[in-house]
Amino acid sequence: KAPTVPNTSFVDKEFGGVDQLLEYCKALPKIELHAHLNGSISPESLRQLAEKRLAGTVGEAEAATGALSVLEALEWKDTFDLKDFFPMFKHIYALTNNMAWLVFIVHGVIKDFEDDGVRYLELRSTPRDDASTGLTKELYVQTVLQAISTSPATKISTRLILTIDRRHSPEVAMQIVDLAIRFRDQGVVGVDLAGDPYAADFDCKHALLKAKAAGLKVTIHLGEIENREAESASMLEVRPDRLGHATFLSEQLRAHVYEERIAVEMCMTSNVLCRTVSSYEEHHIKEALELDHPSILCTDDKSIFASPLSCEYALAASTFSMTKQQLFDLSKKSIDAIFANSEEKTRLRGVWDTWAP
């Protein structure tokens, strides 16, 4: 499926046309800060895993059939509803539930981002157990970290954020924070709260506060759906370091986000395809860019939404008539919002400063 870049007749004196725009956006060094591992697996990798499983035992073959039906769904779907988006992960999870497959997908996802010009990546993933393969949350984290450290990609550096799913109990949320603390020296930089916003209420404030108190960074999926003001206010009391989406917010809460300069991970294609934002032109990044509010273009689930990060840059450029310099500045400023330490920020700024288109 071809990535969505609106306004295909886009002609700009500086870029020349859509192909040149995409080329520039791919070459541009970029920072990816909001990428869910299991939503970022390329269709090719998923198909390879499904085919291996189809040749396996009956139970595994069933899982593979489920994954293939997800792939078919992806081929024809141009829009989702958040309500039919989340159940798809059940099928993907059936293919990523053992350690060897996990290493395979992490290597593939890092390589995809590197090939797309990403020079620093914060992958996020939800630690999970799977009794059928002996996978535990701890083994999950260890395996993903091991895969990150053995990735053959050399032009990109990768860190891990551990995701708490809204459906997790407060105890499981605490367990995930404890894992993040334990593995912080091995590449875990923070904790995220994600998952289906319709499925459960916000119930892990203590865990997130513990993460903050331990010096870990915190990012929260905030205001993904309408009418959750009380929940969003409570989430902001955690003083998160970044926010995911921040789509639906009261004027008062948005003013707070702006005043506190809390960086927002913006996922334009994801929001439009999931119909939480009605068009690219009306995306809330427009106002944030006008106010010079820290905003980071991100993919969310690049494979499900068929949009690599370079396409998100091209989308922003074509929607808001941005120049090459503005795209470069946007990507360079994203360095300020990464969860890694100041040495890594300095190193990255050096990479940007020596880049020539």
Catalytic (active-site) positions: 224
Nearest residue (CB) to ligand 6MZ, 163 versus 310: 163
- Three-state DSSP state, 153: coil
How many other β-carbons are positioned within 10 Å of the β-carbon of residue 347? 15
284 sits near ligand 6MZ (criterion: CB under 6 A): no
For ligand 6MZ, give the closer residue by CB, 18 or 135: 135
Binders of ligand 6MZ among 58-87, rule CB under 6 A? 85
194 binds ligand 6MZ (CB under 6 A): yes
DSSP strand pairing (263-266 vs 118-125): unpaired
Residues 6+ apart with CB under 8 A from 346: none
Residue ranges of the alpha helices (H) in the chain? 18-27, 43-54, 58-76, 82-85, 88-93, 99-115, 137-149, 170-182, 205-213, 229-236, 251-259, 268-273, 285-290, 309-320, 324-333, 342-353
Which CB atom, from 167 or from 349, has the smaller least distance to ligand 6MZ?
Answer: 167
How many whole angstroms separate alpha carbon 88 and alpha carbon 328?
35
Binding to ligand 6MZ in span 223-242, by CB under 6 A: 224
Residue 126, interface with ligand 6MZ (CB under 6 A)? yes
Options 5-13, 34-42, 43-51, 313-321: segment touching ligand 6MZ (CB under 6 A) = 34-42
Closer by beta carbon to ligand 6MZ, 94 or else 348: 94
Q: Contact between 39 and ligand 6MZ (CB under 6 A)?
A: yes
Distance separating alpha carbons of residues 193 and 164, to the nearest angstrom = 5
Give least dist CB 240 to ligand 6MZ, A. 15
38 binds ligand 6MZ (CB under 6 A): yes
- Per CB under 6 A, 190 contacts ligand 6MZ: no
Taking the least distance from each CB to ligand 6MZ, the nearer of 32 and 224 is 224
Instruction: Determine if 312 is a binding residue for ligand 6MZ (CB under 6 A).
Output: no
Rounded distance, CA 268 to CA 281, Å?
A: 10
Examine residue 303 and tell whether it contacts ligand 6MZ (CB under 6 A).
no
3-state secondary structure 16-78: CCHHHHHHHHHHCCEEEEEEEHHHCCCHHHHHHHHHHHHCCCHHHHHHHHHHHHHHHHHHHCC
| Residue choice 221, 283, 284, 332 for contact with ligand 6MZ (CB under 6 A) | 221
Cα separation values, 155 from 30, 116, 158, 337, Å: 11, 11, 10, 20
122 phi and psi, to 5 degrees?
-110, 105
Least CB distance to ligand 6MZ at residue 287 (A)? 21
| Footprint of ligand 6MZ on 157-186 (CB under 6 A) | 163, 165
Contact flag: residue 299 with ligand 6MZ (CB under 6 A): no
- Which residue bears the tokens 């119909």? 275
| In the complex, least distance from residue 28 CB atom to ligand 6MZ, rounded to whole angstroms | 24
Q: Which residues pair with 219 in a beta bridge?
A: 192, 242
Give the DSSP letter of residue 157.
E
Which residue of 142, 158, 247, 270 would you call a contact of ligand 6MZ, by CB under 6 A?
A: 270
Using rule CB under 6 A, residue 300 touches ligand 6MZ: yes
Q: What tokens does 190 get? A: 């923070």
Binding site for ligand 6MZ (CB under 6 A): 36-39, 85, 89, 125-126, 163, 165, 194-195, 221, 224, 270, 274, 300-301
